[in-house]
Amino acid sequence: MCRAAGLALLLILLCAACATDTPPTPDVTRLLDEGRAHLALYEWDRAIAALNEAISAAPDNAEGYCLRGLAYASSNGGTLARDAAITDYARCLELAPDRALADLASQALTVLRAAAEQ
C-alpha cells in the first residue's frame, strides 16, 4: 500500500505540472480541478467520474486522459483498471505527443506495461 500510495502521489504531482496548449473552458477546468481534488483524497471512483465528465466536455484535452489514467492506475480495479489506465495514457500521448505531458504519460505507460508483464 505504501509503495502504491507513493506512486500515486508522484503521478499526481507530475500530472499537476501538465499544461495544455489550448486553455480549457471554465467548466472543464472545474471538472479537472474536481478530479485532482478527488485524486489527492484517494477517492478514485469520484475522480474517475469527474474526469469522465471533463473528457466528455473536451475530448481533445490530453490532461483529462492523463489524470483519469492516474485514477485508474491508483484504484483497486485490478487488471481492468490497469488496462483502462494504459488506454488513457496512450490516448494522452496521441493528443500531446510533443509536450511535457507526453513524457509523463510515457513514463506511466512504461510502469503499467511492466506491471502487466509480471
pTM > 0.85: yes or no: no
* 54 contacts 61 by C-beta, under 8 angstroms: yes
- Can you give the residue ranges of every domain in the chain? 2-14+25-117
| Mean pLDDT to the nearest integer, 41-67 | 96
Q: What CATH number labels 2-14+25-117?
A: 1.25.40.10
- Sorted by sequence, the CB contacts under 8 Å of residue 64 that are 6+ apart come out as 28, 31, 32, 35, 51, 54, 55, 58
The per-residue pLDDT for 24 is 62
pLDDT in tens, 13-33: 445 445 445 566 779 999 999
CA triple 99-45-79, angle to 5 deg: 75
The per-residue pLDDT for 102 is 86
Share of the chain above pLDDT 90, in %: 65
